[in-house]
Structure 1
Amino acid sequence: MPEMTFSVRWPDGQVRQYYSPSLVMHDFLTAGASYTVEDFTARSTKALAQATERVREKFGFACTSAAAAADDIVDAARTYGPTSTVEVLDLRPPLSSAR
């Protein structure tokens, strides 16, 4: 199962990198795109939930790293207004080279 990381710039300029055990993030986020905090949080937590379920289906257990990334995103999002902007800086590996 290919894993990936994605980097975002939060509204205060802080750049954070997150882990996903699956390329499913490409179905929810686009590198270079901006989302409201509310939308980014919804998209990324849904994608990470799907990623951990893919791990569960394949290996028989959930991915705690994906759950931790989702928790980190939710915690960070609480410090900003829901309409503030989050920029997705990159998704690695890029989809074209990942498949």
Structure 2
Amino acid sequence: MPAMHFTLRWPDASESRCYSPSLVIRDYFEPGASYPLPDFLRRSREALQIASERVRAKYGFACSMALDELARIEARAADFPPQARVAVVAFEDPA
């Protein structure tokens, strides 16, 4: 199962390198696009939960790394007001 990393730019201009155990992230985000915080969180939850379930289907257990990444994203998002926007800077192609 190909994993991937993606880079986010938060409203304060800081960046985070994030992990997904599946390429499903590409179905939810577009590099260069920015998303209102509530929409960004909804997309992140859906994509990373699907990614975790794909790992479960293949290996018999959920992907704790995907769920941990989601927790980090949600914690960071809590620093910003709902009208803030989060940009998806880039996808890193899987090795």
Counting only pairs closer than 5 Å after superposition, residues 1-99 of structure 1 correspond to structure 2 as 1-93=1-93
Secondary structure at 2:56's aligned position in 1? helix
Secondary structure at 1:18's aligned position in 2? strand
Letter matched to residue 20 of structure 2: S
Consecutive unaligned residues in structure 2, runs of 5 or more: none
Percent identical among aligned pairs is: 44
Runs of 4+ in structure 1 deviating by more than 6 angstroms, as ranges, are none
Q: Shift of the alpha carbon at 1:83?
A: 1.3
CA RMSD of aligned residues (A): 0.9
Letter matched to residue 5 of structure 2: T
TM-score, normalising length from structure 1?
0.92
Consecutive unaligned residues in structure 1, runs of 5 or more: none
Whole-angstrom CA distance in 2 between matches of 1:5 and 1:39: 20
